[in-house]
Amino acid sequence: MLFADSGNGYSEQATCWLNFTGHGSVREAVFLLRRPAMRLRFDPRISPGTLRLGEVGLEKASRALWWVRGLAKRLRRRIRSFGDVASQVTRAGATFGRGGMGAFLDALDRIAEAEGTVNRRFQELDLAEFRERLDTFTAFARTHLVQGEAAIDGRVAGVSVIVPVYQPDLSRFRELLASLLAEVVQPAEIIFVLDGPQPGPRRLIAAFKPQASKVVLVELDRNHGVGSACNAGLAAATQPYVMILDHDDIVLPPLFEFFAHAAAADPDIVYLDEAIVDEDARNVLSVTARGAFDLPHYLSHPYVVHPVFVRRDLALRAGGFDASMRISHDVDFFLRCVLHARTITHVPLVGYLWRQVRRSLGSTRQAEVSEASRLAIRRFVVARFGWPETSVAKGTSFNMYDIKPPPRPDARVAIIIPTKNRGDLLDVCVQSIVDRRGFNQSPIEIFIVDHESDDPSSLKVLERWAAADGVTVLAHKGPWNFSEINNAAVRQIEARGEFSHFVFMNNDVELKTNDWLDGLLGAFRLDDVGIVGCYLSYPDTLVQHAGVIVGLCGAAEHAFKFSAGRLADGRRAPGYLGALVATRHFGAVTAALMVVARDVFDALGGFDEAFAVGFNDTDLCLRANDSGWRTCYVGRVEAVHYESASRGKSVVDPHPMDTARFIDRHLRAIRRGDDFYGLTMNWSSPALEFSLEPRKPFRLRTISTAAGKGQPN
Q: What angle do CA 190, 217, 192 make, to 5 degrees?
A: 50
Dump the DSSP string for 448-513. EEEES---HHHHHHHHHHHTSTTEEEEEE-SS--HHHHHHHHHHHHHTT---SEEEEE-TTEEE--
* pLDDT of res. 391: 83
* pLDDT of res. 437: 94
Instruction: Report how far apart, in Å, the C-alpha atoms of 125 and of each of 109, 133, 453 are.
Output: 24, 10, 57
Mean pLDDT for back-to-back runs of 10 residues, the chain (713 residues): 75 64 71 76 62 78 66 49 48 55 55 42 70 88 63 70 95 95 92 95 94 92 93 96 95 93 94 92 89 95 94 96 88 95 96 80 70 92 85 85 86 95 93 95 94 91 93 92 95 88 96 95 90 95 93 89 87 90 95 96 95 92 94 96 57 72 90 92 80 86 69 42
Question: Residue 408: how many CB atoms within 10 A of its CB?
Answer: 16
Q: 11 φ, ψ to 5°?
A: -125, 140
Residue type, 653: D
| Beta-sheet strand order (sheet of 2-5) | 10-16, 2-5, 39-42
Are 364 and 452 contained in the same domain? no
* pLDDT of res. 84: 44
Are 341 and 455 contained in the same domain? no
SS3 396: coil
Give 491-526 pLDDT, tens digit per residue.
999 887 789 999 999 999 999 999 999 999 999 988
Task: Using alpha carbons, select from 387, 375, 301, 290 the residue that is nearest to residue 336.
Answer: 375
* pLDDT of res. 83: 43
**Which value, in Å, is the radius of gyration of the alpha carbons in the chain?**
27
Are 337 and 465 contained in the same domain? no
In a 13 Å sphere around the CA of 430, the CA atoms on its Cβ side amount to 26
CA 294, 298, 301, 305 dihedral sign is positive
Give the Cα separation of 83 and 95 in Å (integer): 18
Question: Residue 201: how many CB atoms within 10 A of its CB?
Answer: 22
Domain assignment present for residue 697? The answer is no
Domain assignment present for residue 65? The answer is no
Question: Residue 499: how many CB atoms within 10 A of its CB?
Answer: 19
Give the Cα separation of 354 and 331 in Å (integer): 16
Domain at 482, CATH number: 3.90.550.10
Dump the DSSP string for 192-244. EEESS--HHHHHHHHHHGGGSS-EEEEE-SS---HHHHHHHHHHH--SSEEEE
Are 372 and 468 contained in the same domain? no
Give 673-710 pLDDT, tens digit per residue.
999 999 988 888 887 777 887 888 899 999 988 644 44
* pLDDT of res. 296: 94
Beta bridge partners of residue 403, listed in sequence order: 392
- DSSP helix, strand, coil percent of the chain (3-state; round to 5): 35, 25, 40
Q: Are 678 and 575 in contact (CB under 8 A)?
A: no
SS3 352: strand
Domain assignment present for residue 653? The answer is yes
Are 330 and 273 contained in the same domain? yes
Are 307 and 213 contained in the same domain? yes
Give the Cα separation of 611 and 85 in Å (integer): 47
Question: 478 Cβ partners below 8 Å, 6+ apart?
Answer: 484
Q: What angle do CA 202, 208, 211 make, to 5 degrees?
A: 155
**pTM score:** 0.81
Domain assignment present for residue 686? The answer is no
Domain assignment present for residue 608? The answer is yes
Burial class (CB in 10 A: 0-12, 13-18, 19+), 566: middle
Q: 198 φ, ψ to 5°?
A: -150, 90
Give the Cα separation of 516 and 522 in Å (integer): 10
* pLDDT of res. 98: 54
Beta bridge partners of residue 277, listed in sequence order: 284, 355
Are 519 and 577 contained in the same domain? yes
SS3 270: strand
Are 323 and 468 contained in the same domain? no
Give the Cα separation of 575 and 546 in Å (integer): 10
* pLDDT of res. 538: 92
Q: 133 φ, ψ to 5°?
A: -70, -35
Q: Are 268 and 679 in contact (CB under 8 A)?
A: no
CA 583, 587, 589, 595 dihedral sign is positive
Q: Are 536 and 634 in contact (CB under 8 A)?
A: no
Q: Are 356 and 276 in contact (CB under 8 A)?
A: yes
Q: What angle do CA 421, 646, 413 make, to 5 degrees?
A: 80
Domain assignment present for residue 699? The answer is no
Q: Are 227 and 181 in contact (CB under 8 A)?
A: no
Domain assignment present for residue 58? The answer is no
Are 337 and 297 contained in the same domain? yes
Give the Cα separation of 387 and 435 in Å (integer): 29
Q: Are 127 and 81 in contact (CB under 8 A)?
A: no
Beta bridge partners of residue 270, listed in sequence order: 309, 345
* pLDDT of res. 82: 43
Q: How many structural domains is the chain composed of?
A: 3
Are 464 and 354 contained in the same domain? no
Structural domain boundaries enclosing 8: 1-43
* pLDDT of res. 69: 62
Q: Are 439 and 474 in contact (CB under 8 A)?
A: no
Give the Cα separation of 315 and 630 in Å (integer): 28
The mean pLDDT value of the chain amounts to: 84
CA dihedral 79, 83, 369, 252 (to 10 degrees): 20
Instruction: Report how far apart, in Å, the C-alpha atoms of 705 and of each of 269, 299, 337, 343, 678 are.
Output: 10, 14, 11, 6, 20
Give 622-680 pLDDT, tens digit per residue.
999 999 999 999 999 999 999 754 433 444 566 778 888 888 899 999 999 999 999 98
Are 344 and 380 contained in the same domain? yes
Domain assignment present for residue 113? The answer is no
Are 419 and 365 contained in the same domain? no
